[in-house]
Structure formats: C-alpha cells, structure tokens
Amino acid sequence: MKVLITGAAGFLGSHLSDRFLAEGYEVIGMDNLITGSMDNIAHLMPRKDFTFYHHDVSKFVHVPGELDYILHFASPASPIDYLKMPIQTLKVGSLGTHNLLGLARAKRARMLIASTSEVYGDPLVHPQREDYWGNVNPVGPRGVYDEAKRFQEAMTMAYHTYHGLETRIVRIFNTYGPRMRINDGRVLPAFISQAIRGEGLTVFGDGSQTRSFCYVDDLVEGIYRLLLSDYAQPVNIGNSEEITILEFANEILSLVGNPKAHLDRRPLPVDDPKKRRPDTTLAEELLGWKPKVSRAEGLAKTLPYFREKVG
C-alpha cells in the first residue's frame, strides 16, 4: 500500500510518515519547506520505502505509479505563519486541495484532508460538535486560514458527492509534541522556549481564553483510524481537557522550573477565539478512539525536545 503525505516535513506530516512506515506502507512525502524542515524527516531519507519530493502542491502535482491514500497536511498552520503568508495559505487550501483531489481521482485513491477547529472560528457553541457551523470573520486576519480550510472541506465534500471519491475530513484541535518549530509562535513552543531561556512568557490578553491540547501520538492514532473507517463527514480529533492560557503559562513555569522566567502580558490578537474544546463523542462512537495521553504526560514527553532545541 502506498500513501502520499503532503506537508511531510512539518510537525504532523513527519509523525504521520513515521506511523504509516511502521504500519508497513510505502510513503511518499511532499513538501516545499516553507514552514517545515528536513530535520524532521532526516531519519527517513535513507529508507527505501520513503521517497521525498520537494514540491509546492499549489502547482500541478504529479506522482508516478499507483497510490492508495493521500493525506493532505500541507499548509502554514500557526497564526504567525499564515499572517506572514496569507496568499500561500489560501492557495494551498484551495488550489492545492483541488490538485490533490484531482490526483486522488486519477489514481482512485482515498483522500484525507487536515481541517481544523478554526472552521468553528470564535465559537458561540461550547464545546464544539461537528454539526456546529462556526463563527468566522472572513475578512479578519485569521480569515485566510479559516476560510481556506472551510473551502477545502467544501471542495472535498463536492468531490465525494459528485465524483464518488472516497474522502475523509479530520478537524484537528490544538496538537503539540516534539518537532514543533520552536519559534512558530504557537503558544506551547513560545511558552516552553521562553521558560527555558528565563524570559517572560508572552500571555496575550488577560489569559482567560481557553484551549485544549492534544498530544501528537493520540492525534495520529485518531487520523489513522478515521482514514480506515468508512465515514466521509467531518470528525473532530482533539483532547477535551480545557485550560485557560494563564493557567497554562503557570503550568509551564512550574514544569520548566527556571526562576528567571515570569509572565509578560501582551495585547490579545484580533479575532482570537475565546474558548475552544472539542466534543469528541463522534470519534469515540465511530472509531472507538479516545485520547490516552494526559497533558502532564504529554508535556513530559515534549520538554526534552525543546530543551535540546533551545539549548
């Protein structure tokens, strides 16, 4: 069985590559390295069952031979990345998705897309279930990412409905673990790096906004099960342990234990969602999936990676 993973040099794409190789698949990784790094897949490069293509998927995508599955994970994913690259973000979610759907159709492959909790925007329903349509500002700064992902879902569903393509949609909630870029601006890499360096932890706003953090191994397991299921509607995958950003900053301060580190309040970014927690009932019923790794365990597995990178 052969799988194409776009965004393979990124955080999630590299972990998915590891998982599919471990399951005995042949993996083709594709990435243009705008936010990813070859370091994440350096250990895979010598393998005969792994091939890497340096390519921008917003341009025509060609892969020789047969393909069984396509996992489309290419996209800037952190707010500072997609604010720096708004047009590329819109293109990879729209043109990139269209190219890959076309490829999936030509190869008769099943396609899974990486959607996001951001399709719910600043949610008015809490926790978020898959049947909530969301509250997104299309012309705000985050609109480039949120709308690209909403379009991606619509396009994927259209290929499913009109062309009978086998498709899967995973709505991923905040996920963390080793191989995140230390300066990608997301809250966990920011706080852990700042705490290790003994700097201020940049808490945006009053820190009362919430997030729910999922460890990467749990996410990968959920995605693997969803791909092999027969369910084409969107499925939330995430951890429902919710925490305020201020509590999270204090948790990181005590975990890292650097006496010089402290809190540093900054303005809240525009349209920053106030609450986010997945309702994962559907994933539990459909896939028999539940996250297994608590935040304490996940952070303990992640901290050594950041200590090495920051050091």
Binding site for ligand UDP (CB under 6 A): 78-79, 174, 185-187, 190, 202-204, 209, 211, 245, 269, 272
How would you class 19 by CB atoms within 10 Å of its CB: exposed for 0-12, middle for 13-18, buried for 19 or more? middle
Is 56 a binding residue for ligand NAD by CB under 6 A? The answer is yes
Which of ligand UDP, ligand NAD, none sits in contact with 203, Cβ below 5 to 8 A by type? ligand UDP
Is 76 a binding residue for ligand NAD by CB under 6 A? The answer is yes
Distance CA 110, CA 60 (A): 19
Q: Which residues ranging from 101 to 160 are in contact with ligand NAD (CB under 6 A)?
A: 114, 116
CB of 206 to ligand UDP, least distance (A): 10
| DSSP H/E element including 311 | none
Which of ligand UDP, ligand NAD, none sits in contact with 36, Cβ below 5 to 8 A by type? ligand NAD
Of the pair 232, 243, the CB lying nearest ligand UDP is at 243
Which of ligand UDP, ligand NAD, none sits in contact with 11, Cβ below 5 to 8 A by type? ligand NAD
Nearest to 219 by CA among 135, 140, 86, 114: 114
Q: Which residues ranging from 164 to 193 are in contact with ligand NAD (CB under 6 A)?
A: 172, 174-175
Distance CA 24, CA 266 (A): 47
Nearest to 216 by CA among 18, 2, 59, 15: 15
Of the pair 4, 34, the CB lying nearest ligand NAD is at 34
Question: Of 25, 69, 82, 145, which residue is the catalytic one?
Answer: 145
The yes-or-no answer on residue 215 being catalytic is no
Residue partners of 156: CB distance under 8 A and separation at least 6 = 97, 101, 111, 113, 167, 169
Distance CA 257, CA 174 (A): 24
- Tell me which stretch binds ligand NAD (CB under 6 A): 26-34, 126-134, 248-256, 275-283: 26-34
Tokens 């250990």 correspond to: 43
Residues that bind ligand NAD (CB under 6 A): 6-7, 9-13, 31-36, 56-58, 73-77, 92, 96, 114, 116, 172, 174-175
Catalytic residues: 145
